[in-house]
Structure 1
Amino acid sequence: MMSLGKIAVLSVLQTEPEEVRLLDQSLPVGYKVYKSKVGSMDSAKIFAAVETAAKREGFISSNYREEHALYHSILEAYQGICRGNAGLGNVLRSAGLLYSIVRGPRTVGCADDGEWIAVALYGYMGAPMKGFEHEVLGLGMNPI
């Protein structure tokens, strides 16, 4: 069964051929999906990249409710990759991440629950030296 969170996580983990197949299955049942990448030692740059992409790609409109839902989805995913409230640069850590943004119903056929937005982050985090990093994965989702 397809769901918002599952699509966000699968999208961020899959390679292009698998991703195209996932998009072909997701769009007809009401999901909009976007995937890109970001890398930084500054958490503000990660938040800004995801938020800018969501606005540019039409995932949210410029009203408080939608921006707030997106912000908290990014924050939840970010806390997942940071293991809590830790940051990046201030503790000498860097991140190279893929991210996906998904908007649609929480689960297929659950339109009475309204629209939701999910953000998944996947990649590598560690000391800012090649070979000193490990994989991380985070997911955040909120109603719009």
Structure 2
Amino acid sequence: MDGTEEDYTEQFNQLNWQFCTGKVGSMNVQKIVAAIETAAKRNGIVREDLYREMHSLYHATMEAISGVTRGQTQLGEILRTVGLRFAVVRGTPYRNAEEGEWIAVALYGTIGAPIKGLEHETIGLGINHI
């Protein structure tokens, strides 16, 4: 990846967008969702008391997980584990601000059997309107 987090911070600040990053590893989809939701709430990307924000984040997260798992959102039940880095971005991607805010969740890392060396790279992206 070209650039540093400081470069992205500067670009996102210029666009008036918000973002946060984090890491999660698990055999449990619920723990992945919880880690992403917790990071987004702690960093002020979404507000827990606003249903539409949490709902949008949930759908973007599940879409990204679906990409990581190639449509089969099971992990531990079928002996798969993931080690992922994630980013959550919230902003107004269209020239016309009336198009509203959108939220994106990007996941990148490894997936495979819970045995070191039997994993491969994976990536997923989910985008949803707020």
Q: What SS does structure 1 have at the residue aligned with 2:35?
A: helix
Q: What SS does structure 2 have at the residue aligned with 1:58?
A: coil
Greater relative CO (CA pairs within 8 A, separation 6+): 1
Q: 1:110 and 2:96 equivalent? A: yes
Matches within 5 A, 1:6-21: 14=1, 17-21=3-7
Q: Distance in 1 between matches of 2:14 and 2:24?
A: 28
Q: 1:71 and 2:34 equivalent? A: no
Q: 1:128 and 2:128 equivalent? A: no
What amino acid maps onto 1:120 in structure 2?
A
What amino acid maps onto 1:54 in structure 2?
A
Q: Which runs of 4+ in 1 moved over 3 A?
A: none
Is contact 2:65-2:73 (8 Å) kept?
no
Is contact 2:21-2:39 (8 Å) kept?
no
Is contact 2:29-2:73 (8 Å) kept?
no
- The gaps in structure 2 that reach 5 residues or longer are none
Q: Deviations over 1:3-42 (max 9, x none)?
A: xxxxxxxxxxx37x52321221121112111111000011
What amino acid maps onto 1:63 in structure 2?
L
Would you say how many aligned residue pairs link Structure 1 and Structure 2?
Answer: 129
Q: Distance in 1 between matches of 2:72 and 2:117?
A: 24
Q: 1:106 Cα shift?
A: 2.5
Q: What SS does structure 1 have at the residue aligned with 2:107?
A: strand
Q: Distance in 1 between matches of 2:22 and 2:96?
A: 27
Q: Distance in 1 between matches of 2:115 and 2:103?
A: 34
Q: 1:89 and 2:80 equivalent? A: no
Q: 1:28 and 2:14 equivalent? A: yes
Q: Distance in 1 between matches of 2:52 and 2:99?
A: 16
- The gaps in structure 1 that reach 5 residues or longer are 1-13
Percentage of pairs with the same residue: 49
User: Which one has a larger percent helix, Structure 1 or Structure 2?
Assistant: 1
What amino acid maps onto 2:84 in structure 1?
L
Q: Distance in 2 between matches of 1:57 and 1:84?
A: 29
Please give the TM-score of this superposition, normalised by the length of structure 2.
0.93
